[in-house]
Amino acid sequence: MKNIDVCLTPELLHQYQLENKIVVVVDILRATSCMVSGLANGVKEIVPVATLEECKTLQEAGYLAAAERNGSKADGFDMGNSPFEYMDDKVKEEKVAVTTTNGTLAISKSLKAKEILIGAFLNLNALANYLKNKEEDIIVLCAGWKGKFNLEDTLFAGALCHQLKSDFEFACDAPLAAEAMYMTARKDMMKYMEDSSHAKRLAKLNVKKDIAYCIQESIYDVIPYLSGKALVPLVH
């Protein structure tokens, strides 16, 4: 039977074989939620890069540049890391380069995978329905926070595992634990997350509305897919 596994932080990714597998990268607060929102709202493509320098180079080449470090917009760039910025008319039909503290780094560490997809609560059902028909094993990679475990990415991993458990076998205890967390949290996700470190971090930055937005389930059908160096909507 096909397997699904959860890597709780990119620092553990060296323990996993990526070849011939599908990696779903998730950074709920807020990188992958931004990516889903951007492509759903007309962004042409999103190029994730690991460093501010790479993002600046693409900005100079004509890309809109979104850069975040430690939860805040980096100086000298067009956008930060709020999904609401990706709903502005100025981004429609544009190419966006993006670098974030955690999410884009997780993508860069996944390049040996057969297929890289972007997951968020926002596209949960669409992603699960697509993956049900795949024959490859799946690794859900939680971006975490600076190499450490975080709550919100693990909750999403649990939600996805819950939807796929009839079609995939849990490869180890991480999917089991993630699903158990999600089943406990799903009745009131906002309350469950209010003590999480990143929710507190963002609340101090006065972006609590971003948190409420990012935990909405299945409001978009778009699945960002890494094609070459750019994330584009998956055609399936």
Residue 129, domain CATH? 3.90.1560.10
Question: Would 232 be classed as within a structural domain?
Answer: no
Question: Would 230 be classed as within a structural domain?
Answer: no
Question: 175 by DSSP, 3-state: which?
Answer: helix
Phi then psi for 29, rounded to 5 degrees?
-115, 85
Question: Would 100 be classed as within a structural domain?
Answer: yes
Report angle CA 131, 134, 138 to the nearest 5 degrees: 65
pLDDT at residue 50, rounded to an integer: 94
pLDDT at residue 169, rounded to an integer: 98
Question: Would 171 be classed as within a structural domain?
Answer: yes
How many residues can be counted in the chain?
A: 236
Indicate the angle between helix axes 173-185 and 151-164, nearest 10 degrees. Answer: 100
Helices marked H in the chain — which ranges?
31-40, 52-60, 103-108, 124-132, 151-164, 173-185, 189-193, 197-204, 208-214
Question: Would 196 be classed as within a structural domain?
Answer: yes
Question: Would 236 be classed as within a structural domain?
Answer: no
pLDDT tens across the length of the chain (236 residues): 899 999 999 999 999 999 999 999 999 999 999 999 999 999 999 999 999 999 999 999 999 999 999 889 999 999 999 999 999 999 999 999 999 999 999 999 999 999 999 999 999 999 999 999 999 999 999 999 999 999 999 999 999 999 999 999 999 999 999 999 999 999 999 999 888 886 777 777 767 899 999 999 999 999 999 999 999 999 87
- Show the domain range for 112: 3-224
Question: Would 107 be classed as within a structural domain?
Answer: yes
Q: How far apart are CA 23 and CA 136, in angstroms?
A: 10
Residues 58 and 49 sit within 8 Å (Cβ to Cβ): yes
Question: Would 125 be classed as within a structural domain?
Answer: yes
Say what the pTM is: 0.96
Q: Domain count of the chain?
A: 1
